[in-house]
Amino acid sequence: MVEQEHQRMEALFNKNMKEQQVMKKALIVGSKINSNQSLTYRVMAQIASSVPKRVRFTSITFMDNNTVQIKGEAYGDNDILKLISNLNQQRFILQASLASMKLPKGSNDGKKKSMKAFRINCTIGKEVS
């Protein structure tokens, strides 16, 4: 029992160490970015950290100084709603809203579950408390 607990704690420690290494690398990259790129980098990092499982992006476009458009695919409505919820919790995203959603052509044949295409518009700004 003690050995199992030790193995579990060691696995958790190793996982945390890997996450720490990834974060350190991100901090190093972030410190090398010029100040005019800082907000863009932070927004992209927050978008990337918001992606739930069963969702993939096909494009991310900065439309103007305060709007980002995200296009992608998800297996279900709940996955898209989770992404929007995650985005709305980020500090640099003032509002994320669903602009469109559609099923791919030929998705009604019932043979396999197809992914839904979506487009989300995000209004970005200075850090939100």
Domain boundaries, the chain: 33-124
Alpha-carbon torsion (64, 97, 54, 126), positive or negative? positive
Q: What token pair was written down for 11?
A: 């696995």
30 Cβ contact partners less than 8 Å away, ≥ 6 residues apart? 38, 41, 42, 45
Predicted local confidence at residue 65, as pLDDT: 76
CATH of domain 33-124: 3.30.1360.100
Reading the chain (129 residues) residue by residue, the pLDDT tens digits are: 888 989 999 998 998 888 888 888 777 776 665 555 677 888 889 999 999 989 999 999 888 778 899 999 999 899 999 999 999 999 999 999 999 998 876 555 555 568 899 999 999 887 544
Give the number of other CB atoms < 10 A from CB of residue 50.
21
The C-alpha atoms of residue 45 and residue 56 are separated, in whole angstroms, by: 15
